[in-house]
């Protein structure tokens, strides 16, 4: 291994999106919708998936590069049908972005079984269903990429993210092992870890959200990360670096700091 290898990008840089075939799952609102619009503006062909066709159509607008593809990501059969539609239209897909998510702020004593099931299926199981569907064709071509939207809430156990946080921690773990498995086979793997972004999900929070940014700003960070060939795209740094630092403190210091932040 040459010294220069340590400083080279972990993924191929994507600076020109013209001709790229992107399947964005979770494209109807928030980060997904903003990223879909940014990709379409940059020249990519984007298949827009979520449960609500009306919202997807609004995101697509009049773009001839948009393919509105409604689906429920928690249903494995709908992944297969979606890939068949994209393949029929575009002869394949180059990048799959997993951006679908559910979130409910709750403390540990507020957890309900049905909410747990819904969040686990939407945030975690849906990604595995997608992987089962898209990996065979990507492996056969020896090219393409996967991008998983997790969260800085997955860096450590945070109150109010009792179910959401662990699902995002699992996605971080999954992205890491996927990179080791798939990068030698020609498939790029990107982990996207946003901080607080102004979306319908974070609108449920009744606590201050440091360094809150817009979905459009989040999309800019993500495209810049792809252009740099980064494995992890985390933003905004003024917030994510603080959370990462706290997550690496000894437990006694970490718990004391979190307790003080909560006023406990």
Confidence band for 6, pLDDT divided at 50, 70 and 90: confident
Say what the pLDDT of residue 158 is.
83
Number of domains present in the structure of the chain? 1
Distances (CA, A) of 19 to 15, 44, 92, 109, 223: 12, 6, 12, 49, 16
Q: Is residue 3 part of a domain?
A: no
1 is a domain residue: no
Q: What is the pLDDT of residue 260?
A: 78
- CA atoms within 13 A of residue 209's CA, in its CB half-sphere: 20
Q: What's the pLDDT tens digit per position in 194-247?
A: 998 988 878 787 777 888 999 999 999 999 999 999 999 999 999 999 999 999
Angle between helical axes of 113-120 and 164-182 (0-180°, round to 10): 20
- What interhelical angle do 237-247 and 251-261 show, nearest 10? 130
Provide the CATH number for the domain around residue 60. Answer: 3.40.50.720
On whether residue 114 sits in a domain, the answer given is yes
- Residue 3's pLDDT is 53
**Beta bridge mates, 95:** 22, 145
For residue 29, being part of any structural domain is answered with: yes
Distances (CA, A) of 22 to 25, 98, 240: 10, 11, 27
Asked if residue 203 belongs to a domain, the reply is yes
Task: Establish if 14 belongs to a structural domain.
Answer: yes
Tell me the per-residue pLDDT of 109-122, one tens digit each, with 9 for 90 and over: 999 999 999 999 99
Give tens-digit pLDDT for 144-164: 999 999 999 999 988 889 999
Residue 4: which pLDDT band, with cuts at 50, 70 and 90?
low
Quote the strand ranges of 2-62, DSSP E. 21-25, 45-49
**Range in 6-10, 152-156, 183-187 with the lowest mean pLDDT:** 6-10
**How far apart are alpha carbons 215 and 197 in whole angstroms?**
6
Confidence of residue 47 (pLDDT cuts 50, 70, 90): very high
DSSP 107: -
State the pLDDT at residue 227. Answer: 98
263 pLDDT tier (thresholds 50, 70, 90): low
Mean pLDDT, the chain, rounded, equals 94
Torsion-angle region of 113 (φ positive above 0: left; ψ -120 to 50: alpha; else: beta): alpha
Alpha carbon distance 71, 53 (integer Å): 9
- pLDDT reported for residue 2: 55
Q: Is the pLDDT of residue 7 over 90?
A: no
Q: What is the mean pLDDT of residues 165-170?
A: 97
Q: Examine the pLDDT at 248 and tell me if it is beyond 70.
A: yes
Q: Confidence class of residue 11 from pLDDT cuts 50, 70 and 90? A: very high
Which of the 8 DSSP states describes residue 204?
Answer: G
Band (258; pLDDT cuts 50, 70, 90): confident
- Are 229 and 7 in contact by the 8 Å Cβ rule? The answer is no
Q: Where are the beta strands (DSSP E) in the chain?
A: 21-25, 45-49, 66-68, 95-98, 145-149, 188-194, 232-235
DSSP reduced 3-state for 155? coil
Residue 23 located in a structural domain: yes
Give pLDDT tens digits for 54-112.
999 999 999 999 999 999 999 999 999 999 999 999 999 999 999 999 888 888 899 99
- 215, with CB counted inside 10 A (0-12, 13-18, 19+), is buried
Residue 76: φ, ψ to 5°: -55, -40
User: What percentage of the chain exceeds 70 in pLDDT?
Assistant: 97
Domain that holds residue 115: 8-261
């Amino acid at each position: 291994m040459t010294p220069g290898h340590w400083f080279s990008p972990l993924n191929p840089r994507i600076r020109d999106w013209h001709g790229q075939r992107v399947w964005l799952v979770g494209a109807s609102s928030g980060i997904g919708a903003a990223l879909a619009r940014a990709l379409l503006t940059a020249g990519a062909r984007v298949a827009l998936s979520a449960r609500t066709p009306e919202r997807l159509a609004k995101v697509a607008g009049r773009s001839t590069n948009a393919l509105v593809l409604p689906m429920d990501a928690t249903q494995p059969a709908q992944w297969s049908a979606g890939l068949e539609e994209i393949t029929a239209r575009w002869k394949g897909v180059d990048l799959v972005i997993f951006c679908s998510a559910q979130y409910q702020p709750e403390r540990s004593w507020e957890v309900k079984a049905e909410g747990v099931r819904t969040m686990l299926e939407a945030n975690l199981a849906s990604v595995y269903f997608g992987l089962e569907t898209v990996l065979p064709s990507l492996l056969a071509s020896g090219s393409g990429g996967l991008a998983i939207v997790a969260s800085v809430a997955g860096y450590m156990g945070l109150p109010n993210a009792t179910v959401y946080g662990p699902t995002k921690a699992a996605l971080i773990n999954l992205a890491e092992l996927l990179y080791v498995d798939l990068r030698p086979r020609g498939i790029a793997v990107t982990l996207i870890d946003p901080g607080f972004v102004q979306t319908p999900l974070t609108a449920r929070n009744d606590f201050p959200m440091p360094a809150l940014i817009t979905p459009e700003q989040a999309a800019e960070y993500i495209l810049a990360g792809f252009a740099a060939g980064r494995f992890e795209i985390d933003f905004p740094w003024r917030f994510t670096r603080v959370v990462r630092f706290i997550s690496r403190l000894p437990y006694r210091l970490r718990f004391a700091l979190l307790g003080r932040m909560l006023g406990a």
